[in-house]
Amino acid sequence: MTALIPDLIPQHVAIIMDGNGRWASQRGLPRFEGHRRGVEALRKTIRAAEELGIRYLTVYSFSSENWKRPATEVSDLMGLLRRFIRNDLAELHSRNIRVRVIGVKEGLAPDIIALLDESEQLTKNNTGLTFVVAFNYGARREIANAARLIAQAVKAGEINTDAIDEKLVSNYLNTVGIPDPELVIRTSGEQRLSNFLLWQSSYSEFVFTSGHWPDFGRDALEEALLVYQSRDRRFGGLSSAMGGVR
């Protein structure tokens, strides 16, 4: 494998963890086993992100649309979240990892809310990797909520409409204080964002991998980073490799 260039490691990588169910089905296993193995892949990926020098890792753990899944599967996913926090939070804290949760907490089970809050409070002063968990998250709802809050602030005379720009909108999103992801990875071959970080990923590079999430780990992350490092990031400008010619 070609060596990664340390200076070109993105500071923020976001991952849509897809394919747990398909991974299990291909092996004749229940979907729960796919989700359980997906948690193991997440542990490996967090460790790899730390070691590679990534500063922010955001994972799409449960979307606002996932409530449409069968009740038994939703219950299994909630159980896995509970176990992950109870079993892994102390270790993440000992590794100086900060946990941030984005998404809507209202309406969740009280013990889930308490665990999410505990994760953030316990690790809020940590200075290592920031592990961002997008839970009960939907980007359209996030943007609509930001618009509602801005409208309320304008109505209250706290904001002048002339002051509304991209920076101000960003300050009303769940990800305030978190840099936009330079790289978004989606596993399992699907090539869409599925309502994930729509505002924040406007200039992200996308890498879609064919492997299912339970098989993801350091090697797959490094392969995605190599693809990222091969891209010419222009942000709407001209390509340096083309001598300023499109």
96 part of the active site: no
pTM of the predicted protein model: 0.92
18 part of the active site: yes
> DSSP E strands: which ranges in 25-177?
56-63, 98-102, 130-137
State phi, psi for 132 to the nearest 5 degrees: -100, 120
Which domains are assigned to the chain?
A: 9-138+179-231 (3.40.1180.10)
pLDDT given for residue 232 in this prediction: 82
Q: Report the first-to-last Cα separation within the chain, whole angstroms.
A: 31
Cα separation values, 206 from 192, 201, 225, 233, Å: 10, 9, 10, 12
pLDDT given for residue 245 in this prediction: 40
In tens digits, the chain (246 residues) has pLDDT values of: 679 999 999 999 999 999 999 999 999 999 999 999 999 999 999 999 999 999 999 999 989 888 988 999 999 899 999 999 999 999 999 999 999 999 999 889 999 999 999 999 999 999 999 999 999 999 999 999 999 999 999 999 999 999 999 999 999 999 999 999 999 999 999 999 999 999 999 999 999 999 999 999 999 999 999 999 999 876 555 555 544 443
Q: Active site residue: 66, 126, 145, 195, which one?
A: 66
Run of H or E residues at 183: strand 183-186
Q: ∠ CA(179), CA(181), CA(185), 5° rounding?
A: 160
pLDDT given for residue 244 in this prediction: 45
